[in-house]
């Protein structure tokens, strides 16, 4: 009786989380109505969740041939992943037009993705550790606390379901010059009683430099990444579950002058050596009355980073000083979370049902980053004690009201932050859902990922400092959507149209306050209010589980209510930088039979405004630049051979990323380049081939 104990456990949860009414629905709709947890902090089907949740599972990630979290997120509606440094290639996620610091990335529902991890972590999390990705856009996810203004991304790691094994090897070649080799392995084991299991993943990646303009300075850095992790579960009884995970990410990254000398002897370079540990432990008990559930959880991460960021000087005195004290640095972040969550179901609540959720959690984030040569140090310990209450009231089978409130006591904020939340779901028959949500959020005056990036500009380095009077940033967010799907026995098609609006109060801005002996200095200040609004349209269709089309397109604007000065001597602008008003994606998957599979996908990035600082030989003035738009087309084809003798499947696959080589053509050259002047897709034309062995 396969997965008997797991099934009993899930059934006991349904007594608390809400039972689904029986209905005769074509099998094709199953992929549209999967169970999600991120929207309400309880398990619900997508169509039953008052908060809209979008999904990307491991099969989708495999079809798209992505090798890490960063590459996968760009195939979600309303999301855009950008590369923000020509030297180190740190990445940033934008949700609904808001920068990375406004979004919260969770690992198994826990906010342990620290500010330092935020710089490179999306590239460091290998795809084979991910079971699925759940995305909630907008401030409706405020139950997750600080920084969830733009939305929440929940990365759910692989859990053991059955005995299985997979080995996947891929070779990439960037423009015929730079190799990139990936090797991933997974195995899962479940005992005969099916009340305990373990899953393991291993990942290795080795990528060489890529130089786009022939100046012997890389536009894509060298990477050597080795990662491993373990997930496990134990069911002590039919109504109890213990689940845990531990992962280690070890990455060496080097970009800049492409030589074999030590970093401090190069003309310009960034060197990063990360050692990251992530862990979590959850205990859940479903009481026998099937009305109450208690969850206790803890999670932690520790990141140690040794790094170098420097330009070799020209002046003899400066050279001597550089050699005596090269700009090496050390970084460490420690994040610890612990919490309790109680769910209680009321079967008769004003003629409906209600699931009440009450919880409390504590998050500690300790950040230390220092480069003595630049007299630069960030030493910050943030502590947030939060409590939340939520009511998920099914008023009628067609109408669901989700209301909640969160209280946060943050040590960098003078008063308790109160964040109310409201979401309404109305179901019109079985195929249409209308949703409305309102939520508030805040960002504490603390260090965020981009603040910890030391950039090159004007022959020096730029750093971020903080206004001593910096106050928290507050937000109000609204969204409304319609979701429609029409199904028959052979096909299903549908669309989602969402409008969103966010008001940022006392928005954080970076003000250029001049230069010092080392380069440009930017101060984080409270600026004017800002407004982000727009609409996202999703279209989808599936024919007989053989042909599937998914698309998403966002049209939006992000502006301050007063112009902001980014560059001295250049006219202020009210527009958000690096934020296109149009972006989207499309995916076509064709699986004619169990052997062949084809995938064609597309990413569109519209024009945007970016700052370009002088210093490089090809750039004599500071200016604002309007970038061109980009259309990135990728393809993959795979063929599976089954060996009954060995009980294994062998998939051979290959393809091309960025077929038409839509890539930036005006990078700065030489050691005095503006490293933040980068805006194109992450890769130029890249071919790949691979072999996957699996059960």
Tens digit of each residue's pLDDT (9 = 90 or more) over 30-74: 455 566 666 666 677 777 889 889 999 999 999 999 999 999 999
What pLDDT is recorded for position 23? Answer: 30
CA 690 to CA 639: how far, in whole Å?
11
Give Cα separations from 149 to 318, 348, 505, 559 (angstroms).
44, 34, 12, 16
What pLDDT is recorded for position 24? Answer: 30
Could you tell me which of 313, 317, 331 has the C-alpha nearest to residue 265?
313
What pLDDT is recorded for position 40? Answer: 64
**Domains of the chain: which residue ranges?**
4-694
CA 206 to CA 548: how far, in whole Å?
33
Q: HSE of 575 in the Cβ direction (CA atoms, 13 Å)?
A: 16
Q: Is the pLDDT of residue 14 over 60?
A: no
Tens digit of each residue's pLDDT (9 = 90 or more) over 635-687: 999 999 999 998 999 999 999 999 999 999 999 999 999 999 999 999 999 99
Query: Mean pLDDT for the chain?
Result: 90
Residue 211's Cβ-count burial label (10 Å; 0-12, 13-18, 19+) is middle
Give Cα separations from 455 to 50, 113, 328, 613 (angstroms).
42, 22, 14, 11
Q: Maximum distance among all alpha carbons in the chain? A: 83
430's tokens: 């079985």
The helix (run of H) or strand (run of E) holding residue 386 is strand 376-396
Q: Considering Cα of 447, then 452, then 458, then 459, what sign does the dihedral take?
A: positive
End-to-end CA distance of the chain: 20
CA 305 to CA 578: how far, in whole Å?
27
What pLDDT is recorded for position 17? Answer: 44
Average pLDDT on 299-317 reads 96
Q: Considering Cα of 69, then 72, then 74, then 79, what sign does the dihedral take?
A: negative
Tens digit of each residue's pLDDT (9 = 90 or more) over 217-231: 999 999 999 999 999
CA 97 to CA 674: how far, in whole Å?
24
- Helices (H) and strands (E) in the chain — how many of each? 5, 37
Report how far Cα 594 is from the mean position of its chain's Cα atoms.
32
Strand 520-526 versus strand 648-657 pairing type: unpaired
Give Cα separations from 102 to 232, 272, 437, 473, 621 (angstroms).
32, 25, 18, 10, 31
* Helix/strand/coil for 319: helix
The helix (run of H) or strand (run of E) holding residue 5 is helix 4-17
CA 147 to CA 680: how far, in whole Å?
26
Q: Is the pLDDT of residue 289 over 70?
A: yes
SS (H, E, C) 342-353: EEEEEEEECCEE
| 8 touches 522 (CB < 8 A) | no
pTM assigned to the model: 0.91
Enter the CATH code of domain 4-694. Answer: 2.40.170.20
């Amino acid at each position: 009786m396969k997965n008997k104990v797991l099934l009993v456990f899930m059934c006991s949860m349904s007594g608390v989380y809400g039972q689904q009414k029986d209905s005769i629905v074509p099998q094709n709709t199953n992929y549209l109505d999967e169970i999600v947890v991120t929207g309400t902090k309880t398990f619900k089907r997508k169509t039953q969740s008052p908060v809209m949740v979008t999904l990307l599972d491991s099969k989708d990630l495999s079809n798209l041939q992505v090798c890490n979290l960063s590459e996968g997120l760009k195939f979600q509606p309303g999301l855009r992943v950008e590369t923000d440094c020509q030297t180190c290639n740190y990445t940033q996620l934008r949700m609904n037009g808001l920068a990375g610091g406004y979004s919260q990335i969770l690992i198994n529902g826990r906010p342990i993705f620290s500010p330092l991890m935020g710089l490179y972590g999306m590239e460091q999390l290998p795809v084979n550790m991910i079971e699925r990705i759940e995305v909630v856009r907008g401030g409706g996810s405020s139950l997750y606390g600080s920084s969830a203004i733009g939305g929440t991304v929940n990365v759910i790691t692989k859990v053991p379901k059955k005995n299985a094994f997979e080995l996947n090897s891929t070779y990439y070649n960037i423009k015929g010059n730079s190799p990139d080799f990936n090797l991933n392995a997974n195995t899962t084991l479940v005992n005969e009683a099916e009340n305990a299991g373990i899953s393991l993943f291993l990942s290795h990646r080795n990528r060489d430099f890529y130089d786009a303009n022939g100046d012997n300075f890389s536009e894509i850095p060298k990477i050597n990444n080795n990662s491993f992790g373990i997930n496990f579960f134990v069911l002590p009884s039919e109504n109890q579950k213990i689940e845990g995970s531990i992962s280690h990410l070890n990455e060496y990254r080097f970009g800049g002058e492409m030589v074999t000398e030590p970093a401090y002897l190069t003309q310009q370079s960034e060197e990063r050596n990360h050692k990251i540990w992530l862990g979590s432990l959850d205990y859940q008990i479903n009481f026998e009355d099937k009305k109450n559930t208690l969850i206790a959880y803890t999670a932690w991460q520790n990141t140690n980073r040794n790094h170098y960021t420097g330009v070799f000087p020209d002046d003899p005195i400066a050279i001597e000083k550089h050699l005596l004290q090269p700009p090496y640095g050390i970084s460490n972040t420690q994040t610890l979370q612990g919490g309790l969550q109680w769910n209680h179901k009321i079967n008769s609540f004003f003629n409906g049902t209600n699931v009440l959720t009450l919880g409390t959690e504590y998050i500690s984030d300790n950040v230390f980053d220092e480069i003595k040569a630049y007299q630069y140090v960030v030493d910050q310990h943030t502590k947030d004690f939060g409590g939340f209450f939520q009511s998920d009231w099914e008023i009628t089978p067609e109408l669901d009201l989700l209301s909640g409130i969160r209280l946060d006591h943050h040590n960098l904020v003078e008063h308790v932050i109160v964040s109310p939340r409201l979401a309404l779901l109305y179901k019109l028959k079985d195929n249409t859902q209308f949703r409305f949500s309102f939520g508030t959020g805040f960002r504490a005056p603390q260090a965020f990922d981009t603040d910890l990036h030391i950039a090159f500009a004007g022959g020096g380095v730029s750093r971020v400092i903080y206004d001593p009077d910096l106050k928290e940033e507050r937000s109000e967010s609204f969204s409304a959507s319609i979701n429609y799907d029409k199904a028959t026995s052979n096909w299903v098609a549908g669309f989602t149209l969402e409008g969103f609006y966010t008001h940022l109060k006392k928005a954080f801005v970076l003000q250029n306050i001049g230069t010092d002996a080392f380069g440009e200095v930017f101060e984080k200040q409270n600026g004017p209010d800002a407004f982000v609004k727009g609409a996202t349209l999703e279209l989808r269709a599936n024919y007989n589980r053989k042909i599937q089309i998914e698309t998403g397109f966002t049209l939006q604007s992000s502006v301050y209510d007063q112009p902001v000065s980014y560059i001295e001597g250049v006219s202020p602008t009210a527009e958000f930088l690096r934020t296109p008003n149009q972006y989207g994606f499309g995916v076509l998957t064709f699986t004619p039979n169990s052997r062949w599979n084809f995938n064609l996908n597309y990413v569109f990035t519209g024009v945007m405004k970016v700052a370009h600082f002088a210093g490089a030989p090809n750039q004599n003035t500071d200016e604002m630049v309007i970038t061109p738009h980009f259309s990135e087309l990728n393809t993959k084809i795979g063929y599976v051979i089954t060996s009954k003798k060995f009980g294994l499947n062998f998939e051979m696959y290959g393809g091309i990323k960025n077929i038409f080589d839509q890539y930036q053509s005006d990078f700065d050259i030489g050691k005095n380049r503006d490293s933040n002047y980068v805006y194109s897709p992450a890769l130029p034309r890249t071919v790949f081939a691979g072999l996957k062995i699996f059960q």
